[in-house]
């Protein structure tokens, strides 16, 4: 691929969004994120630390990308203290977290998917062991109530896809751990495609409503992996980790997924797993995360509450090869 000439002394293009296929050496200013960006060659995969969450949390919900992500709800309690469900909502621009107006509910493990301007979420755990089934859409500035997920409340389920084409599945209910799933269109739900087994508490899933991968999900442990073709789930190679309660973090697509638990960082190529650079800070619970194998972030995900730095920490991963990065000046 040809590269751009040196840009010293040249005018830098101003863009409302990042170019779809930038060339190595290309530099531009993004007026939406207010950031100077550049396409560079990264010699080896690496992690860096970015801005901290304002409220330290784990068992979060999330949607978005490393340049425009959202951290939703979660558990803010310090180690050894009773659970404290949060309704905190923060947005991420690739370097800084900004507090937004609170979500309409205080829950842990809010199942959510979509983007920072078109998100959706449902379920979650509430005080005294009660579970929520209420669902909402996010339009970039406010939440709107939609039809609740059928079947009662769910804690530690998951959701994948877009605001208008998504699937909610897994989690725990007052009566057990079903393998039920529900397809959503942004306003209502239909039953299916159900998973082949049961006990998907804390499951991790990423992809679209027609091509997704589900990882873990059990109590107390599971490393099972299943893939969805839009209609049917089939078993795939297990992730080579022991996963307590099925918790962890997943980003990417069905054929190029990431699964991370604690400091472990596993890549899936559609057939097998490989180990990538370890996270600098362990995230044993669900963090706010987003991105692809080329670059992704994980924020929070560690017990301890706001006084604990690791409960607020944001880690960013960049894979070897061509990558778009924010240019900083110090």
Pick the closest to residue 135 from 149, 125, 114, 118 (CA basis).
149
Separation between Cα atoms, residue 325 and residue 297, nearest integer Å? 13
Query: Is residue 85 a contact partner of residue 108, using CB atoms and an 8 Å limit?
Result: yes
Pick the closest to residue 38 from 23, 58, 52, 53 (CA basis).
23
Spans of all domains in the chain: 1-42, 43-326
Looking at residue 4, its pLDDT comes to: 43
Looking at residue 329, its pLDDT comes to: 61
How is 113-172 classified by DSSP, letter by letter?
EE-SSSEEEEEEE-GGG-EEEEEEEE-SS-EEEEPPPTTS-BEEEEEEE-SSSEEEEEEE
Looking at residue 121, its pLDDT comes to: 97
Query: Is residue 246 a contact partner of residue 222, using CB atoms and an 8 Å limit?
Result: yes
Domain 43-326 in CATH 3.90.320.10: no
Looking at residue 221, its pLDDT comes to: 72
Q: Give the mean pLDDT per block of 10 residues along the chain (330 residues).
A: 45 88 89 86 90 95 94 87 91 95 94 97 87 96 96 90 96 86 97 90 93 85 91 95 80 97 95 96 93 96 86 94 74
**Sign of the dihedral defined by the CA atoms of residues 57, 61, 65, 68, in that order:** negative
Within the chain, how many helices (H) and strands (E) appear? 0, 28
Q: Which residues pair with 237 in a beta bridge?
A: none
């Amino acid at each position: 691929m040809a590269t751009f000439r040196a840009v010293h002394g040249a005018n830098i293009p101003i863009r409302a969004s990042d170019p779809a296929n930038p060339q190595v050496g290309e530099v531009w200013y993004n007026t939406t994120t207010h950031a100077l960006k550049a396409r560079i060659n990264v010699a080896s995969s690496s992690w860096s630390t970015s801005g901290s969450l304002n409220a330290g949390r784990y068992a979060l919900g999330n949607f978005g990308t490393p340049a425009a992500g959202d951290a939703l709800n979660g558990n803010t309690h310090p180690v050894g203290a009773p659970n404290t469900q949060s309704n905190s909502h923060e947005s991420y621009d690739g370097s800084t977290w900004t507090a937004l107006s609170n979500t309409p509910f205080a829950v842990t493990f809010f199942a959510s998917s979509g983007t920072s301007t078109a998100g959706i979420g449902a379920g979650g755990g509430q005080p005294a062991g009660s579970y929520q089934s209420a669902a909402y859409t996010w339009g970039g500035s406010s939440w709107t109530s939609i039809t609740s997920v059928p079947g009662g409340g769910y804690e530690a389920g998951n959701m994948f896809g877009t605001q208008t084409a998504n699937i909610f599945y897994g989690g725990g209910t007052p009566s057990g751990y079903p393998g039920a799933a529900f397809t959503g269109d942004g306003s209502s739900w239909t039953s299916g495609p159900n998973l082949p087994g049961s006990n998907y508490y804390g499951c991790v899933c990423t992809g679209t409503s027609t091509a997704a991968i589900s990882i873990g999900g059990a109590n107390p442990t599971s490393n099972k992996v299943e893939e969805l073709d839009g209609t049917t789930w089939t078993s795939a190679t297990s992730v080579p980790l022991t996963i307590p309660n099925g918790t962890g973090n997943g980003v990417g697509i069905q054929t190029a997924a990431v699964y991370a638990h604690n400091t472990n960082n596993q890549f899936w190529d559609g057939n097998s797993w490989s180990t990538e650079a370890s996270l600098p800070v362990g995230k044993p619970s669900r963090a706010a995360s987003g991105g692809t194998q080329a670059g992704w972030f994980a924020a929070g995900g560690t017990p301890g509450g706001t006084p604990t730095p690791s409960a607020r920490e944001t880690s960013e991963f960049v894979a070897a090869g061509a990558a778009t990065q924010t240019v900083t000046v110090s």
